[in-house]
Amino acid sequence: MEYIMIEDIRKHEDQEVELRGWLYNKRSTGKLQFLIIRDGTGFIQSVIFKGNFSEEQFDEIDKLNIESSIIIRGKVKEDKRSPIGFEIDVQDFEIVSKADDDYPIQLKEHGADFLLNHRHLWLRTPKQHAIMRIRDEIILASRNFFDTRGFTLIDTPLLSGNACEGTSTLFELDYFGQKAYLSQSGQLYNEAAALAFGKVYCFGPTFRAEKSKTRRHLTEFWMIEPEAAWYHLDDVMKLSEDYVYHLVQSVLKNRQVELKILERDISKLEKIQLPFPRLEYSEVLEKLKEIGIDFEWGKDLGAEEETKISELFDSPLLIHRYPAKAKAFYMEPDPEDSNKALCVDMLAPEGYGEIVGGSERVYKIDVLKRRLKEFDLPEEAFQWYIDLRRFGSVPHGGFGLGIERTVAWICGLKHVREAIPFPRTISRLYP
């Protein structure tokens, strides 16, 4: 008998198959027992008819606790009422491991903290399962997107001697008597790689000692960062919108079942169109004023302003040319007005906030040295980075997209902590 996965069930109608999985839930009507089996690729109802089994076998199933592991063999039958269109008429089963009777996650509402403390088991439930499958799709689509556009994947280090995104959110550690930091971004190393390979990207975990307890902040999150030689701000914006559009289309195409489980309003995702709207930071302030929000020129936008402005658009919004002093040291000043940086943030629709941050990079050595001083960063630690401006410097740029914020938005989740398998926040290191 062929061992198959639940997600392939439709190819096996009326055939006898073997499924290996776990008992997610069950109910009984005396003569019949309905087992919901999950195998990691889906959930399916399996029916045990008393007449086909001995008294002992039927009793064993009746007493079986949820989350026990089990192998079942039986016939795949069409069932119009089933969410996946099929059920199994069980002919034979084998119990692999009986679960204890106190499985902590019940089919009722639990508090967020309780669920997060049981994240190792919570991941088994349909909603969490759907989120992780969409996350996987987003990562796969990212790899495909950059690969087909000629970007080379270059892995950047996680242990580093210099800060990238400001010194206030660095995780510092003792590196054999020397100070080291967990990487906040692969960007600086990406710049070196872009001058060696032209177009590159990195994908990995990044760390921010964020004291903020918002629904958008993790202390460990995954970022995908492309970087390209000869790219100006317009190229960076174009690449970012093509990329995010591609992510949305891939999920809509390949993860309909999961979006349905999450009860996501997909009309919102279907409305997204290229090109995305673009506004300069100062235009954003004018628009905010029109809706009654006074915001002083010079500061980075906060969550509230971001939500309000993005609600005016159906597609993600590109905001460019923020005040230079509100952004990172490596951003190229606008030649038209050096108080502005040639940078861009992309805000997701529906109030999900910033998902992309990027810019053109400083490429003249004197400007870079001045910026390092202004940001109080030690030149010694950046010698290698300064070298990139001594040997064949060219205009270049790139961006970083936060995977969890993107997953949260596409899945319609309230909080980014459900968008990563094992979230790390200021108050969570367990499990």
Q: CB-wise, 187 or 250, nearer to ligand 4AD?
A: 187
Only segment of 19-27, 35-43, 371-379, 399-407 that touches ligand 4AD (CB under 6 A): 399-407
Smallest separation, CB 185 to ligand 4AD (Å): 4
Interface with Mg ion, residue 357, by CB under 5 A: yes
* Nearer to ligand 4AD among residue 33 and residue 187 (C-beta): 187
Report how many residues bind ligand 4AD under the rule CB under 6 A: 23
| Burial class of 393 by CB neighbour count within 10 A (0 to 12, 13 to 18, 19+) | middle
Stretch that binds ligand 4AD, among 48-56, 71-79, 217-225, 317-325 (CB under 6 A): 217-225
Name the 3-class secondary structure at 212. coil
Phi-psi sector, 351: left (phi>0), alpha (psi -120 to 50), beta:
left
Binding piece for ligand 4AD, criterion CB under 6 A, among 49-57, 71-79, 355-363, 382-390: 355-363
Q: Give the tokens for residue 327.
A: 């952004």
Containing 70, the helix (H) or strand (E) segment is: strand 69-78
Residue number with CB closer to ligand 4AD (395 or 398): 398
Strand, helix or coil at 200? strand
Q: For ligand 4AD, which residue of 355, 377, 408, 413 counts as binding (CB under 6 A)?
A: 355
Q: Which helix (H) or strand (E) holds 112?
A: helix 112-117
Site string for Mg ion, 317-356 (x = CB under 5 A): ----------------------------------------
Contact call for residues 358 and 397 (beta carbons, < 8 A): yes
Q: Does 223 bind ligand 4AD (CB under 6 A)?
A: yes
β-sheet bridge partners, residue 165: none
Q: How distant is the alpha carbon of residue 366 from its chain centre? A: 37
Q: Which of 240, 400, 407, 410 is in the footprint of ligand 4AD by CB under 6 A?
A: 400
Virtual torsion, Cα 303, 305, 309, 315, nearest 10 deg: -10
Considering only residues 136 through 175, tell me which ones interact with ligand 4AD, judged by CB under 6 A: 164-165
Residue closer to ligand 4AD (CB basis): 87 or 306: 306
Which string of b and e fits 187-220 if b means at least 16 CB within 10 Å?
bbbbbbbbbebebbbbbeebbbebeeeebbbbbb
Read out DSSP for 306-370? HHHHHTT-SS-EEEE--BGGGS-TTBPEETTEEEEESEEEEEETTTTEEEEEEEEBP-SHHHHHH
User: Binding segment for ligand 4AD among 7-15, 104-112, 240-248, 401-409 (CB under 6 A)?
Assistant: 401-409
Which CB sits closer to Mg ion, 166 or 198? 166
Which of the listed partners (Mg ion, ligand 4AD, none) does 353 bind, with a CB threshold of 5 to 8 Å by partner kind? Answer: none
User: What are the Cα distances from residue 357, in Å, to 29, 143, 180, 321, 347?
Assistant: 56, 19, 24, 12, 9
Q: Are the beta carbons of 405 and 353 closer than 8 angstroms?
A: yes
Give which of ligand 4AD, Mg ion, none residue 362 binds (C-beta under 5 to 8 Å, depending on kind).
none
- The reply to whether 327 sits near ligand 4AD by the rule CB under 6 A is no
- Least separation in angstroms between residue 181's CB and Mg ion is 18
Contacted by 208, from ligand 4AD, Mg ion, none: CB < 5 to 8 Å by type = ligand 4AD
**Residue ranges binding Mg ion (CB under 5 A):** 357
